Amino acid sequence: MRVLVVEDDRNLREQLVAALGDAGYAVDQADNGEDGQFLGETEPYDLVILDLGLPKVDGLTVLKNWRAGGRAMPVLILSARDRWSEKVEGLDLGANDYVTKPFHMGELLARVRANVRRTTDHASSVLECGDLQLNTATGQVLVNGQPIKLTAYQYKVLDYLMHHRGRIVSRSELIEKIYAQDHERDSNTIEVFIGILRRKIGADRIVTEKGLGYRLVNPAEGG
């Protein structure tokens, strides 16, 4: 899952980037509205955290421009406590959620998870596929009740496949969703991650759709 943080307060931005990175998201960042708007128009984010008071272009204008341009990714706005009218305007312009500053990082991460879930149609923070379970709140993965250890990138791949269970996910889509913008990308590593995941969770859970990509299935259901 890939997230964009648009926030001009450097301290807060770095805290957000670190916390989201620790939680398993690939994170891009912008410190002004112009760069943020451009990234949101050109990169495929699963969620954006958007501050409203931004240099160059303010957050509400950025949001308005994204929605006018058909960009539908979930947007969580950060607003100051006393600016209730901004929240209303933000929601009316198509924001999905808001958090008031100052906030607890735990609450923000929970809201990020909830909004990503809503857009991918999952009701619970524990994603399940047969006896494979991935807890998006704790990062724990269980196979048949037994915890398995995954590296950060193996987790990112499995997390994305679990969120999109049953659907074919192409290699290029995986690459765009597990790496931040400035990360060197090598499509061969996806095959390596898939190979390792198959060994750890069971080979028949990830089906290769020739020429198209991968699909996470529940072998007990026959796909």
Return residues touching Ca ion (CB under 5 A): 8, 51, 53
Q: In the complex, what is the shortest distance from the CB of residue 94 to Ca ion, in angstroms, rounded to a whole number?
A: 20
When the beta carbons of 102 and 147 are compared against Ca ion, the nearer one is 102
Backbone torsions φ then ψ of 162, nearest 5 degrees: -65, -40
Q: In the complex, what is the shortest distance from the CB of residue 51 to Ca ion, in angstroms, rounded to a whole number?
A: 4
When the beta carbons of 101 and 198 are compared against Ca ion, the nearer one is 101
CA distance 31 to 8: 4
Query: In which region does residue 158 sit, left (phi positive, over 0), alpha (psi from -120 to 50) or beta (all else)?
Result: alpha
Q: In the complex, what is the shortest distance from the CB of residue 38 to Ca ion, in angstroms, rounded to a whole number?
A: 18
Closest residue to Ca ion, Cβ-based? 53
CA distance 219 to 66: 40
When the beta carbons of 53 and 202 are compared against Ca ion, the nearer one is 53
Type of residue at 153: Y
When the beta carbons of 77 and 169 are compared against Ca ion, the nearer one is 77
Concatenate the DSSP letters of all residues of 106-152 into one string: HHHHHHHHHHHHHHHT-SSSEEEETTEEEETTT--EEETTEEE---H
When the beta carbons of 53 and 139 are compared against Ca ion, the nearer one is 53
- Cis before 219? omega within 30: no
Q: In the complex, what is the shortest distance from the CB of residue 13 to Ca ion, in angstroms, rounded to a whole number?
A: 9
DSSP character for 169? B
First CA to last CA across the chain, in angstroms? 23
Q: In the complex, what is the shortest distance from the CB of residue 8 to Ca ion, in angstroms, rounded to a whole number?
A: 5
When the beta carbons of 8 and 43 are compared against Ca ion, the nearer one is 8
**Contact of 45 with 73, CB cutoff 8 Å:** yes
Q: In the complex, what is the shortest distance from the CB of residue 55 to Ca ion, in angstroms, rounded to a whole number?
A: 8
